[in-house]
Amino acid sequence: MDHFLYRDGTLYAEDAEITEIAAQVGTPFYLYSSATLTRHFRLFDEALEGIDHLVCYAVKAASNQAILKTLGDLGAGMDVVSAGEYARARAAGVPGDRIVFSGIGKTADEMRMALTGGIRQFNVESEPEMTALNAVALELGKIAPITVRVNPDVDAKTHAKIATGKSENKFGIPISRAREVYAMAAKMKGLKVIGIDVHIGSQLTELDPFRQAYEKVADLTKTLREDGHEITRLDLGGGLGIPYTHSNDRPPLPTEYGAMIKETLGNLGCEIEIEPGRLIAGNAGVLISKVIYMKSGEDREFVILDAAMNDLIRPAMYEAHHDIIPVTEAEAGIEQQEYDIVGPVCETGDTFAKSRAMPPLVAGDLVAFRSAGAYGAVMASEYNTRPLIPEVLVMGDQYAVIRARPTLEDMINRDTLPTWLED
Ligand code: LLP
């Protein structure tokens, strides 16, 4: 459930009318609902009630500080993968002891920043990284709490570009080598082993791959304890999928996911962490765009929008489907048309949908891309020198621009001319 619903024939975000926001902010823009973000965080938090846990929002999904603060104020932890994400989480008021640091390529500078600023744990992904972290910790006179991310060799049954848990993927250490890697970690004076980490992919639409991975983690917990390691925390990653269409096949709910976690891992006495990103932010955001032109091709009608692939890359990059709905509700029973919905960028890949059935559109109409809150704004670029589009957050009937559209001067002035080109 989200909070983008029609009321009196026009689309609202909570109690704010989207056409009004569009008139103020200008299109295209991203629009998020605080109530939906809150609801989604609580679903996970409640699903894990009864066991010691922390829901660490995966900052990469949508990293605006207003979003982080909305979630942080509810008690969320954060999963970060770069110095930039760490700094954002801290700037949004999240204390270091609620931040976990993931990623296969943490640099010594990033480790230094997190160790100095405060960190809950590092999820370490290789022996060389472990060696580097140990050196940084010793240099700072600190002890870095770590889990080791294991690769359980499980097929997440999702898009190949976002599956991470097969042995051929670059993530984690093979679970078959876990014992020797933990033995190595235990000898390092700058590290304190506290648990195990696993993350098998994103947009999973079945529980079974999670279950397979978590059963392996349960076995590994016992083995490592027998080896003398203190395993007190299990980080289970993110990945639970969301419905991108309003059809019947919906991915499992957080309650079902939580129940499965309790069943597979609940009796180990470990604190559980999860790192959901998409499920919290995805359906809490829409992309609002305007039709610039309607154009007739030889055998098809093109809808040319003012949003493009640089604003929302998911369709071009993963053949991802986003529902696109008119902001002004179509009259009941009106005949649908088939459209190719495209952006203005000069390449054919800048196509959001082909032969999409929609109520008739005309130039000037506003449309909303649903499920655009996660991996939308964060993956945007300035390709074609198009400014990054604004982000707006709604709470009740209030709204605020939480990232303004840069001016063309802002963008162009970031370039500097070398002396030999100065006039
Ligand atoms: N934890 C780790 C270590 C991750 O790598 C990810 C996502 C998450 C948590 C959060 O996963 P989620 O709950 O959001 O599925 N750009 C792609 C998705 C990439 C996901 C990368 N890692 C997309 O637009 O579909």
Domain spans of the chain, in order of start? 4-31+282-412, 103-274
If you take atom 19 of ligand 1, which residue's CA is the nearest one?
162
pLDDT of residue 275: 98
Lookup: tokens for 363: 């130039």
Exactly one of 334, 346, 362, 417 is catalytic; name it.
Answer: 346
pLDDT of residue 165: 83
Q: How far is the CA of 408 from the centre of ligand 1 (A)?
A: 32
pLDDT of residue 23: 98
Which atom of ligand 1 is found nearest the CA of 241? 15
Q: How far is the CA of 414 from the centre of ligand 1 (A)?
A: 30
C-alpha dist (Å) from residue 68 to 10, 210, 376: 29, 26, 15
If you take atom 24 of ligand 1, which residue's CA is the nearest one?
375
CB-based pocket (< 6 A), ligand 1: 58, 61, 79, 102, 162, 199, 202-203, 237-239, 275-279, 314, 318, 374-375
pTM of the model: 0.97
* CATH 3.40.50.300 given to domain 103-274: no
pLDDT of residue 54: 98
Sign of CA dihedral 355, 285, 366, 381: negative
Which atom of ligand 1 is found nearest the CA of 375? 24
Q: How far is the CA of 59 from the centre of ligand 1 (A)?
A: 9
The CATH number of the structural domain formed by 4-31+282-412 is: 2.40.37.10
The candidate with the shortest Cα–Cα distance to 400, out of 30, 128, 140, is 30
Which atom of ligand 1 is found nearest the CA of 281? 14
Q: How far is the CA of 162 from the centre of ligand 1 (A)?
A: 7
Lookup: tokens for 69: 């603060």
Q: pLDDT tens digits, residue range 255-267?
A: 999 999 999 999 9
pLDDT of residue 158: 86
pLDDT of residue 1: 63
What residue ranges of the chain have pLDDT lower than 70?
1, 247-248
Provide the β-strand partners of residue 337: 358
Q: Ligand 1, from 162, 164, 202: best to mutate by most atoms within 8 Å of Cβ? A: 202
Q: Helix and strand tally (H, E) in the chain? A: 12, 21
Distance of CA 253 to the CA centre of its chain: 17
pLDDT of residue 166: 82
Q: What size, in residues, is the chain?
A: 423
Q: How far is the CA of 305 from the centre of ligand 1 (A)?
A: 28
Lookup: tokens for 124: 């370490």
If you take atom 6 of ligand 1, which residue's CA is the nearest one?
238
pLDDT of residue 2: 81
pLDDT of residue 412: 96
Q: Where are the beta strands (DSSP E) in 263-407?
A: 271-274, 285-296, 301-305, 324-326, 337-342, 351-358, 366-369, 391-395, 398-403
| Contact call for residues 70 and 91 (beta carbons, < 8 A) | no
- 270 annotated active-site: no
| Contact call for residues 182 and 196 (beta carbons, < 8 A) | no
pLDDT of residue 247: 66
Determine which helix (DSSP H) or strand (DSSP E) holds 111, and give its type and residue range: helix 108-117
| Contact call for residues 261 and 48 (beta carbons, < 8 A) | yes
Q: What angle do CA 145, 262, 146 make, to 5 degrees?
A: 10
Q: pLDDT tens digits, residue range 326-381?
A: 999 999 999 999 999 999 999 999 999 999 999 999 999 999 999 999 999 999 99
